[in-house]
Chain A
Amino acid sequence: MFQATDKIIFTGPVGAGKTSAIGAISDEPPVRTDVATTGSERDIKDTTTVAMDYSYISLEDGKRIHLYGTPGQERFDFMWQILTQGGLGLVLLVNNDHPDPVGQMEYYLDAFADFIRDTGVVIGITRMGVRDNASIMDYQARLFEREQVFPVFEVDGRSSEDVRILVNALLAVLEN
């Protein structure tokens, strides 16, 4: 039976690769709600999501797992609570090109703390090697300080294999 709560949420700052990641594993290209970016984030991307990205993965027996991408800009953070209601788990993508990517990770972990506590989260670090403002060890060390041992992987948001591995880790967290 179809349930609207069979969903995985992709979140993270602008330009982290949420839309690409959804597109890398979904059965259909994501439906996007983009407009031209205004403000300081124009330098990062020309367009930004204002409501959500949406696509799905079809399973056996016609079931679907819905994939939702949240808006990256913090002024749309009211959508985050709406989108996570009843969700299975969270995929947090962080752009390593950001001046303080570890701080960004912390911000989102705090913003989604209740949802993460009730479900689970995996963290994908994108754009490593473009400008490495942090190493994987930096993220791991900060999580260790916070006493949170979440999966943190280097990912290319366009790579189906990378995103599948990330989601598989989320499934392991949820099942165990």
Chain B
Amino acid sequence: MPKPLRISPIALDSTNRKVLKVAVDLINDEGIASLLLPDGSPHGHLLVIDASNPAGRQALQEASEGQVKLVLSDTRLEGKNLIWQAPPVRVADMQELLSRICLRMKASFASQEVLSQAAAGQHNASEGSAPTASEGTARGSDRQPKAEPASKAEETAPGPEASRGGQARTLFHALLNAKQQQDCYRIGYDEHRLLVGGHNGTVAATSEQDIKAIMQAPFKQVRVEQTDIIAFAKEAQQMNISPLDSLLWQTGVEYSDGQLLAGHDMRQPIRLKAWPNFTRNGFRQSHFKLAAIMARQPISLKDLRKEAGVPQGEVVSFYNAAYAVGLIDRNVTTGSDPRDGRPRTRRKGLLGMLARKLGFR
């Protein structure tokens, strides 16, 4: 099936259009490749229609039954391939809806592809076929070669950010690949086993010790095997489920080797979209400073390293982890420092003493 998934906004007012745009950007950052078509285009895989106005109602009538429709309406609606949502819709709600719909659609398309290939007597599509460079990135290009260490990469079109499955350099890269490709992996080291559901953002393991053992193992000795959604669901039934993002964060911070993700550039301005939830995810003391600077204004990793005075490996690991869990905004340009004109604290000595009292320095 063609990727990314195309989403058509139909008869949306300016607020809903803005909500949809932000939500599409957010799911792209989650690794769900999708493209927002121009207003009124009827050709998307998914139509987002405001049925509270005449133009929306007409578009709903004219839409084909086979198209998936997310319909905003005060009145409950039912129909084939129709998902009803009462307005107003917040960004977070829209993001969650789009995420679920898009993942289900992709799984459905993948199943259809498997069935048609099986019917034609070909190998199962989930075994060993290499992805094209356009998969897994919102605006990917087939022109990119296999991923190079990103510290040497120029910022041109984004390429595959991690090698597939067993060709990944680290567990972090394998997990990120699973998320971006929405693939399922079976990962093993000795008797320890971990299932990764890139399609639904979860990992499954019998115990924390299994996860820990795999994280700490030399990655060359770790087995990574692709599996499918059905096998994942069956095997994960007897296991403990946890969010993939939590493991991505942990491995990104601790085990991404301090190497910048392929296709990313130390000189590109980036910005933090949200702080990591430090009370529930691991952190290093330097992360607070890095997050504070990155949240303040767009900055390149090169300038961040200088301003923060933090070793490059730590800056890069923090960035890798934050990017993997969707906290980095790369679509920025450098701008003015919002601190300009704001009184700056002259109490750094006092604040340092407080930090020491709290046990952080």
- Which A residues form the contact surface with B (CB < 8 A)? 6, 25, 57-60, 63, 65, 88, 102, 117-119, 134-138, 140-145, 149-155, 161-162, 164-169, 171-176
Contacts and interface: CB of A to CB of B under 8 A. Distances in A.
A172 B292 contact: yes
Given A143-B274, A164-B359, A166-B279, A171 B354 contact: yes
Contact of B345 (A57, A119, A149, A164): A119
B120 interface: no
B350 A176 contact: no
Contact of A154 (B277, B347, B351): B277
Contact of B272 (A25, A134, A145, A149): A149
Interface string B161-201: 00000000000000000000000000000000000000000
Interface of B: 22, 26, 90-92, 95, 271-275, 277-280, 288-289, 291-293, 295-296, 342-343, 345, 347-348, 350-351, 353-360
Given A59-B357, A154-B277, A171 B26 contact: no
B351 A171 contact: yes
Nearest to A156: B279
Nearest to A134: B92
Given A137-B92, A172-B291, A59 B350 contact: yes
A59 B342 contact: no
Contact of B288 (A25, A141, A150, A169): A169
- Decide if the interface of chain A is mainly helix, strand, loop or mixed: helix
Given A141-B91, A144-B22, A149-B275, A65 B354 contact: yes
Contact of B351 (A118, A143, A153, A175): A175
Nearest to B273: A144
Nearest to A147: B338
Given A117-B342, A149-B273, A151-B291, A141 B357 contact: no
Given A59-B353, A117-B342, A174-B345, A167 B358 contact: yes
Nearest to B358: A164
Contacts of B357: 57-60
Contacts of B356: 60
Contact of B275 (A150, A162, A176): A150
B274 A149 contact: yes
Given A135-B92, A141-B92, A144-B22, A168 B355 contact: yes
A104 B356 CA distance: 32
A176 B296 contact: yes
A140 B256 CA distance: 25
Contacts of B296: 149, 176
B292 A152 contact: no
Contacts of B91: 141-142, 144-145
A6 B288 contact: no
B278 A169 contact: yes
A60 B353 contact: yes
